Amino acid sequence: MKLFCSLALLFISMAGYSQENPYWFSDDIKKKMEDPAQSQSWKSQMSATYYSINGQYKSALESWDLTFGKVKKLSEADSLKLTKLIPVNAKDYILEKAGNEQVIIINEAHHNASHRAFASSLLQGLYDKGYRYLGLETLASDSLNTTKFASLNSGYYSQEPEFGNFIYNALKIGFKLFPYEAEGNNKEREIGEAKNISDYMEKNKEGKYIIYCGYQHAYEGIHKSWEKTMAGRLSDLTGINPFTIDQTQFSEKSNPKYNEPLLRIVNNTFPVILKDENQMIYNGEDKILYTDIKIVHPVTKYLKGRPDWMLTKSRKLYKIPSSEIPVYPVLVLAYRNGEFEQKGIPADIIELNTSKDDRFLILDKGEYEIVIKNKEYKVISRFEKKIR
């Protein structure tokens, strides 16, 4: 199954990312997926990515699960084993562990924006532990180290608001960002990515590294198609055993029936890792492809129609005044001041189809320009707002 970091998906999409507006209405995303020549698998991956970029978290999960949602069952013995596992705060564990590491590799599912929010929450703590470099698979160049924010030209997946926020936070904290994508497929790509990272590390030795990637690139062990993944090959090239973190296996799906049974057993309200009674890390049952830890993300709750994981301590709900919306439907995009004209990434985006829809953005403290577009993608309202 070619669902993990599909190269066709990545490069077909990237071919047009600098040429067109990526922020679409739901109806237009559906129309783009009507091509009868494309497989259902392709449609699921592409629509999930499009919905994600447009801030529609739940629709992204639903689209992915149209093809990849599977019902999983546990035996009574396995269920008993899992009920004995002890949850530990994942962020606290990672930051404590990070002090003795040199390279951390953490993955994401490309359609799941919550993974970027969690990775972003680690940044300040990791910087305080000596981490100075952040490698991002999606980046097209390192020009954002000068601009200090991501633009539509920076990369493909980074067009998504939470990815843009992740990048903005990293640059604000002081990280130096770098790309490491490589041409080729399967084994060739893994080798190329690892070499690009290794070459960069050889030239920049005065700090520790975070490598952010998609899916199985973070896995250790022997891959059936790649032999070794980027993580394994990077270890071979540098002699450093990276601390690898998986966010994908135990993340929620669109429907509880597709969730890993472990999510129902743990029933956590914040990201955790699991230990057994001997304080050993539980990493799932796959002993061939593995990571040092696996994050168990909680099932999302919704506040004012928005995912609860978006509402961190520093963020606030902001209600769009109805007086600013002369017609429906509209897209509402919030840009940090000065970034809209420079093709920056919105800090948040919502679609409103009627006056009865929840009109809440979730924004960090700062000054924003709120841009409202109609169905023809014309700007019909712009105003400034300071979030205190």
The 10s digit of each residue's pLDDT in 2-12 is 444 444 444 44
Question: Which tokens go with 174?
Answer: 């002081």
What is the per-residue burial (b if ≥16 Cβ within 10 Å, else e) of 288-302?
ebbbbbbbbbbebee
| Residues contacting residue 115 through CB under 8 Å, at least 6 positions apart | 107, 108, 109, 247, 248, 251, 297
284 pLDDT band, cuts 50/70/90, is confident
| pLDDT, tens digit, 9 for 90 and up, residues 214-248 | 999 999 999 999 999 999 999 999 999 999 999 99
Predicted pLDDT at 62:
97
Question: Which tokens go with 130?
Answer: 């000596």
More confident of the two residues 346 and 37: 346
Are the C-beta atoms of 355 and 362 separated by less than 8 Å?
A: no
Question: Which tokens go with 169?
Answer: 């936070």
Question: Which tokens go with 311?
Answer: 């509402």
Domains of the chain: 7-68 (no CATH), 78-300 (3.40.50.11550), 303-387 (2.60.40)
> In the beta sheet, which residues pair with residue 248?
none
1 pLDDT band, cuts 50/70/90, is very low
| pLDDT, tens digit, 9 for 90 and up, residues 103-134 | 999 999 999 999 999 999 999 999 999 999 99
Please name which of 382, 368, 364, 362 lies closest in space to residue 338, comparing C-alpha atoms.
Answer: 368
pTM score, whole prediction: 0.94
